[in-house]
Amino acid sequence: MIFDTMNNLMITTTTIVHRLFLILLMDNAILCLLVVWMNWSVHFLVEILIGYKWQMTMTDRPAK
């Protein structure tokens, strides 16, 4: 009887832990995607700005 209750407790705790872990994992995955997207967008913007500036400096120079 005690063993059965212990087993049930173990099963419930493991399921709860698994659920929490899955939820955390999903949240972390979303966070990771957000971070990656933010980094990529920032990098993209920086690249555009640098490219634009570089183009401007190149065009500003008189052609020899």
Instruction: Identify the pLDDT of residue 61.
Output: 60
DSSP 1-64: -HHHHHHHHHHHHHHHHHHHHHHHHHHHHHHHHHHHHHHHHHHHHHHHHHHHHHHHHHHHSPP-
Q: What is the pLDDT of residue 60?
A: 64
**Residue 1, pLDDT above cutoff 60:** yes
pLDDT at residue 34, as a whole number:
85
pLDDT at 64: 56
Q: What is the pLDDT of residue 49?
A: 85
Give 20-64 pLDDT, tens digit per residue.
888 888 778 888 888 888 888 888 888 888 888 777 776 666 655
